[in-house]
Amino acid sequence: MRMANLSVPEVIREIITGNRSIHDCMKMDVINYTALAVKIQPDVEKILGNSVNLNTIVVAIKRYSDSFQDKEPVKEELILQNARLSLTDGMMDVRVPRDSFRIADASSFFEQFSKIEPDYEFFRLSDSFRFLTEDIADVRKLFESLPNTQSQFSTGLTRITIGIPSGQNRSDVGSFVSDLLHTNGIEWEDAYFSRDKMIITLNTKDAAHAYDILRSEISR
């Protein structure tokens, strides 16, 4: 929308106050003025109806930033505070193609499965069903007994379960845990989410280190 009667500083203020994320970062003084100017330059020019020099936008952003009398300190957010943590070795991840797992067989299969190994995780994906379960002979035989099914087994895994604290966003937990482990040279094999927990599988050789890192974060 063209509003030629506005000045560049006025447009900058409107854009920033209308974007909560940018506004909060500016209040905390953790934003790069030039990068922000590049990002919003098309919007500024669209509103004013003419081209605007990038440096003009940078200056306007800095002046608006200087108008905040009190800069908010960057708060250290304890994402995993009050989270619960558990570790289980000797796990395997089993992938069953969706097309070969008939619903008619499901009831009987799950009944047998629960008798052998009640502590398993089940996930329904777009192209398959995934089971995270203890790697024991009877479980393997059960999967191999499924008719016309080529189950795929990933072994040598350890499961770490993170109980997500009430009120904490699971996306924040996922991003935080991924970055935390990556920074320490650990990559997970897979990750699954439910409403109240995050489950990650790792190569067993990395599991103890990963558990210690997560435990230290929870104990902060």
What does the pLDDT profile of the chain (220 residues) look like in tens digits? 444 467 888 888 888 877 878 887 887 788 899 999 999 999 888 888 888 999 999 999 988 888 775 555 444 567 888 889 999 999 999 988 877 666 556 778 888 888 898 888 888 877 788 899 999 999 988 888 877 677 889 999 999 999 987 777 777 788 788 888 888 889 888 888 877 889 999 999 999 999 999 998 887 7
> Tokens 């599991």 sit at which residue?
207
Position 74 scores a pLDDT of 43
Position 4 scores a pLDDT of 47
Position 5 scores a pLDDT of 62
Q: What's the pTM?
A: 0.59
Position 209 scores a pLDDT of 95
Q: What is the pLDDT of residues 145-158, one digit of tens each?
A: 877 677 889 999 99
CA distance 25 to 33: 11
Q: Please answer whether residues 87 and 159 qualify as being in contact, where contact means their C-beta atoms are separated by less than 8 angstroms.
A: yes
Residue type, 12: I
CA distance 212 to 51: 54
Cα angle for residues 66, 70, 71 (degrees, 5° grid):
75
Position 18 scores a pLDDT of 77
3 state SS of 69: coil
Written as six digits, the tokens of 211 are 């558990």
151's CB contacts (< 8 A; 6+ apart) are: 94, 95, 96, 143, 144
Q: What is the pLDDT of residues 91-142, one digit of tens each?
A: 999 988 877 666 556 778 888 888 898 888 888 877 788 899 999 999 988 8
